[in-house]
Amino acid sequence: MQDGPAGAQPVYLVHVFCCTNERPATHWRGSCGERGGRELCDYMCRLGMALGARRIRINRAGCMNVCEHGPVMVVYPEAVWYKYETHADVDEIMRGHIIGGVRVERLVVSIDPATLHG
């Protein structure tokens, strides 16, 4: 892959996508939304807005096909995946990784690509 134009800057220094996909509660794979992902994403968005950092973006996303680990988010461009279940988890990811640049190891999800749902 080619490099971008000389001097081009990334739009977002940190771009977070939180899965908010919601399946019926009876679905065998479950879903991030059904496990609280939507409310947690909204909470994280509010934190991001309160921060006022335009180069950090928190976004909702559709199903990222790692439902078994959910609720999940992925942080780009580093491609770090987190599982988060509480506001305290979100606070820790925001403070530690998104702002502080230090990965929150206890919440990192290690996903083996070979196990992705086909």
- Find the shortest distance in angstroms from Cβ 70 to its own copies: 13
Is the CB of 63 or the CB of 85 nearer to its own copies?
63
Question: DSSP labels for 45-89?
Answer: HHHHHHHT-TTEEEEEE---S-GGG-SEEEEETTTEEEE--SHHH
Q: Point out which span in 24-32, 58-66, 87-95 binds its own copies (CB under 8 A).
A: 58-66
**Within positions 63 to 92, which residues make up the interface with its own copies, using CB under 8 A?**
63-66, 74, 76-81
Is the CB of 26 or the CB of 101 nearer to its own copies?
101
